[in-house]
């Protein structure tokens, strides 16, 4: 029997100001670039990353810029959030790798899921597109909460994944632990994330038949898009090396959402393109 980490033992780091501000900007109708640029300026690493992407072949418009505000405008809030999450998550959650599980693969996986979910969210025409994008980035954050809160238990989970050839969700169930989606939702609640994001994160391993009956069809569709995007990211190798997970895309699920194979392919293509500098 494994000792269960109770939620009071969890280490919940505080949300970085840059992430808080970017989130507020993403949800507001009028973006305040000055505020954003002033915050980012304090961090040379983030500044360099923004400018590098802004001057890359994807966003560069022939003229190189060293102006952070111009850079942010070029790359947009989506890419900015991906950069901020990469930096802040790497700073907030410091741990040595657990078997196949490491922070670099983690942040890349989140960025991929978020980009694919964003593209597929457009296909299903959801009004919750920002929630999907943010939830994609943070969907597995509960794994990091556990990694810094209880190293022994995290090691046990990754070892179970390896020896049983199963994924995180199955290993947590096998060890009778709270799932990482629950720990993640707790952290995001603590960080006062929008309810829509928390709902998505909390349900990212729950099949529709097992979800609350009170959800709207829009909410259910968004959860399904997030689950699908997670599977697609794993399918195209944007996750952990030597990690076992079912990567089959269920065509019934696609049909239900009204997403074609063609649309999946183009979402993958766009994610590959957007995240080539990641
Ligand atoms: Fe997950
Ligand atoms: Fe995932």
For every residue of 59-93, DSSP letters joined together read: T--SS----HHHHHHHHHHHHHHHHHHHHHHHHH-
Beta bridge partners of 98: 101
User: How far away, in angstroms, is 68 Cα from ligand 1 center?
Assistant: 34
Beta bridge partners of 101: 98
User: How far away, in angstroms, is 216 Cα from ligand 1 center?
Assistant: 22
Task: Give pLDDT, residue 1.
Answer: 47
User: How far away, in angstroms, is 127 Cα from ligand 2 center?
Assistant: 23
Highest mean predicted confidence (pLDDT) among 2-11, 32-41, 96-105: 96-105
Contact assessment for residue 175 and residue 160, using Cβ atoms and an 8 Å cutoff: yes
User: How far away, in angstroms, is 110 Cα from ligand 1 center?
Assistant: 10
Tokens for 143, please give them.
Answer: 């794994």
Mean pLDDT score, 240-252: 90
pLDDT per position as a tens digit, 13-45: 998 888 888 888 888 877 788 888 998 998 999
Check whether 11 has a pLDDT greater than 90. Answer: no
- pLDDT bracket for residue 3 (50, 70, 90): low
User: How far away, in angstroms, is 159 Cα from ligand 1 center?
Assistant: 17
Q: Find where tokens 């693969």 sit.
A: 105
User: How far away, in angstroms, is 55 Cα from ligand 1 center?
Assistant: 33
From residue 3, alpha-carbon distances to 53, 172, 176 in Å are 45, 12, 10
Check whether 255 has a pLDDT greater than 90. Answer: yes
Lowest model confidence (mean pLDDT) among 69-83, 127-141, 195-209: 69-83
d(CA 168, CA 144): 12
Which residues, including other chains, have CB under 8 Å from residue 109's CB and lie 6 or more apart? 140, 233, 234, 238, 239, 240
- pLDDT bracket for residue 180 (50, 70, 90): very high
Domain boundaries along the sequence of the chain: 13-92, 94-278
d(CA 223, CA 227): 6
C-alpha dihedral (213, 217, 222, 226), degrees to nearest 10: 50
User: How far away, in angstroms, is 185 Cα from ligand 2 center?
Assistant: 14
Name the average pLDDT for the chain: 91
User: How far away, in angstroms, is 157 Cα from ligand 1 center?
Assistant: 13
- pLDDT bracket for residue 278 (50, 70, 90): confident
pLDDT per position as a tens digit, 199-236: 999 999 999 999 999 999 999 999 999 999 999 999 98
1.20.1260.10, 1.20.1250.20, 3.40.50.1100, 1.10.3210.10: which CATH number matches 94-278? 1.10.3210.10
Check whether 7 has a pLDDT greater than 70. Answer: no
Tokens for 70, please give them.
Answer: 């111009």
Task: Give pLDDT, residue 5.
Answer: 55
Report helix, strand or coil for 101.
strand
User: How far away, in angstroms, is 24 Cα from ligand 1 center?
Assistant: 25
User: How far away, in angstroms, is 138 Cα from ligand 1 center?
Assistant: 10
What are the DSSP calls for 167-213, one per residue?
-HHHHHHHTT---HHHHHHHHHHHTT--HHHHHHHHTTT--GGGS-T
- pLDDT bracket for residue 242 (50, 70, 90): confident
Phi-psi region of 117 (alpha: psi -120 to 50; beta: other; left: phi over 0): alpha
CA proximity to 149, closest of 114, 118, 190, 109:
190
Tokens for 222, please give them.
Answer: 């968004």
Check whether 276 has a pLDDT greater than 60. Answer: yes
Ligand at minimal distance from the CA of 243 is: 2
Contact assessment for residue 10 and residue 183, using Cβ atoms and an 8 Å cutoff: yes
The CB density around residue 183, as the number of other CB atoms within 10 Å, is 25
User: How far away, in angstroms, is 180 Cα from ligand 1 center?
Assistant: 7
DSSP 242: T
Check whether 106 has a pLDDT greater than 80. Answer: yes
């Amino acid at each position: 029997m494994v000792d269960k980490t109770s939620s009071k033992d969890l280490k919940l780091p505080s949300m970085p100001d840059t992430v808080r501000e970017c989130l507020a900007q993403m949800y507001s109708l009028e973006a305040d670039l000055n505020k954003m640029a002033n915050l980012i300026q304090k961090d040379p690493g983030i500044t360099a990353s923004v400018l590098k992407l802004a001057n890359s072949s994807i966003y560069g418009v022939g003229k190189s810029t060293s102006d952070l505000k111009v850079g942010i405008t070029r790359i947009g809030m989506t890419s900015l959030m991906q950069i901020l999450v990469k930096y802040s998550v790497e700073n907030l959650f410091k741990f040595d790798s657990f078997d196949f599980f490491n922070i670099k693969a983690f942040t890349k996986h989140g960025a991929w899921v978020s980009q694919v979910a964003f593209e597929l969210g457009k296909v299903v025409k959801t009004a919750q597109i920002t929630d999907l994008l943010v939830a994609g980035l943070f969907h597995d954050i509960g794994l990091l909460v556990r990694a810094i809160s209880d190293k022994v238990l995290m090691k046990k989970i990754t070892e179970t994944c390896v020896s049983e050839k199963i994924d995180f969700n199955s290993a947590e169930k096998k060890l009778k632990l709270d799932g990482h989606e629950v720990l993640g939702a707790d952290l995001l609640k603590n960080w006062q994330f929008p309810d829509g994001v928390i709902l998505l994160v909390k349900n990212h391993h729950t099949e529709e038949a097992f979800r609350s009956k009170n959800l709207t069809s829009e909410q259910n569709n968004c959860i399904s898009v997030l689950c699908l995007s997670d599977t697609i990211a794993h399918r195209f190798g944007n996750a952990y090396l030597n990690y076992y997970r079912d990567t089959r895309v269920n065509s019934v699920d696609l049909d239900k959402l009204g997403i074609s194979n063609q649309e999946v392919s183009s979402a993958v293509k766009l994610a590959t393109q957007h995240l080539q500098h990641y």
